Structure 1
């Protein structure tokens, strides 16, 4: 593989170059957020939705200069980096933004800094997994519900511990519950379930990430006559659903095959994935 680079605050630097100090607030306090995106056939998919979510998150975290990060800026910086990294037309993109001031809990500055990364992918479409995922529920720690819950912040300890639980139990994915015991999301994705001919997903008020692919799938479902319900959902739905699938910006739609002794179909998820690849 050729030498890889990152974009650090507008400068293209070697990916292995040390750019952060011990004073970095993202490291010390998780004071930042990140956005995962997908480049397909040279196009940054759903760039407007990603930009909107990044800007909303930065504004909520009270970081200065959030308004300068627009769709034009994002597309330009991604194009520059993938060209330098020689990833080709298909890549996974990650933007991490953090508060650049020093200080303790009270920062000395609210100025935003960022790191942009790009890594090559081999598929030029959203490819569904051939083998369905095996899941379980991670309930050792629940996710709080507040105005930060919909953001992808740099404080990801719940998901890290969920990942350890996943590995320890030889699972493909795990479901995360909110502080009220209701279904929230999975370790790395939003959750959808087909039950009684309706498509269900946890409402944003349940504390799930406001995923871009979640938005896209909701829109696709409505455009294609699939009745969709955003609601407070008991994890018991996993025992009753006909189908369960997960969505995120990098992988698109991934279908779940089993939970305990329950086995699922993948008819709706496959249909929506076909529609997704026509976008």
Structure 2
């Protein structure tokens, strides 16, 4: 494998090079956010939606220069790094932005710094998983609902513990509840449930990530005559649903096969995945 590089504040440096110190606010306080994206056939997919979400998040976190992370910035920096890493036309892109200043809880400055990573993937389309996922509900820790809930912040301990639960129980994914006991999201994805011929997904007011692929799938469903409801959803629906699938920007749509003794179909997820690749 050829040597890999990252983009650190505009400079292309070897991936193994130390670029952060113990004073880094992302390390000390989780003071930042991140965004996962997908390059397909040389194109950064849904770049406009990603840049809009990143800028909203940076503005909410009160970081300076939030407006600089526009569509041109994302495309230019991603394509530059992909060329340097020789990943080919298909890659997973991750941008991590953090506050670059000293201070304790109160920062001395609100400058934005960033790290961009690019990792090669083998698929040149959004590929629906052949084998359905096996899931369970993670109940040890819930996700609080507040103004930060819709962001992918660097404070991800809830999902780290959910990941440990997943590994300990040999699962493919886990569902995370909000602090009211309702479905919020999966460990790394948004959640969609087919029940009584309608498609349901947790509303943003339930604290789920405002995922770009969530937004795309909602639009695709409505355009293709699928009744969609954004709502407060009890986890009990998993025992009655006809279908459950998960979405994120890196993988697209992934269908769930089983929860406890329940087994699901993948008709709607397969249909929407075809529409997604046709965009």
Q: Tell me the TM-score normalized by structure 2.
A: 1.00
Tell me the residue number matched to 2:219. 219
Tell me the residue number matched to 2:161. 161
Q: 1:63-106 deviations in whole A, cap 9, x for unaligned?
A: 00001111011110011000000000000000000000011000
- Distance in 1 of aligned mates of 2:168 and 2:230: 32
Q: Counterparts of 1:182-261 in structure 2 under 5 Å?
A: 182-261=182-261
- Distance in 2 of aligned mates of 1:66 and 1:249: 21
Tell me the residue number matched to 1:51. 51
- Distance in 2 of aligned mates of 1:173 and 1:70: 32
Tell me the residue number matched to 1:148. 148
Tell me the residue number matched to 1:16. 16
- Distance in 2 of aligned mates of 1:85 and 1:141: 38
Tell me the residue number matched to 2:70. 70
- Structure 1 residue 264 displacement after superposition: 0.1
The answer for unaligned runs of 5 or more in structure 1 is none
Q: Is 1:101 matched with 2:101?
A: yes
Tell me the residue number matched to 1:7. 7
- Structure 1 residue 175 displacement after superposition: 0.2
Q: 1:39-84 deviations in whole A, cap 9, x for unaligned?
A: 0000000000000000000000000000111101111001100000
- Distance in 1 of aligned mates of 2:74 and 2:99: 18
Q: Secondary structure at the match of 1:171?
A: coil
- How many residues in Structure 1 have an aligned counterpart in Structure 2? 279
CA RMSD across the alignment: 0.3
Q: Secondary structure at the match of 2:229?
A: strand
- Distance in 2 of aligned mates of 1:19 and 1:243: 45
The answer for unaligned runs of 5 or more in structure 2 is none
Tell me the residue number matched to 2:61. 61
- Structure 1 residue 9 displacement after superposition: 0.2
- Distance in 2 of aligned mates of 1:186 and 1:266: 18
Q: Secondary structure at the match of 1:210?
A: coil
- Distance in 2 of aligned mates of 1:197 and 1:74: 38
- Structure 1 residue 234 displacement after superposition: 0.2
Tell me the residue number matched to 2:31. 31
- Distance in 1 of aligned mates of 2:251 and 2:79: 20
Tell me the residue number matched to 1:126. 126
- Distance in 2 of aligned mates of 1:68 and 1:274: 34
Q: Which runs of 4+ in 1 moved over 3 A?
A: none
- Distance in 2 of aligned mates of 1:131 and 1:69: 37
- Structure 1 residue 115 displacement after superposition: 0.2
Q: Secondary structure at the match of 1:236?
A: helix
Q: 1:128-157 deviations in whole A, cap 9, x for unaligned?
A: 110000000001000000000000000000
Q: Secondary structure at the match of 2:219?
A: helix
- Structure 1 residue 228 displacement after superposition: 0.1
Tell me the residue number matched to 1:91. 91
Q: Tell me the TM-score normalized by structure 1.
A: 1.00
Q: 1:217-248 deviations in whole A, cap 9, x for unaligned?
A: 00000000000000000000100000000000
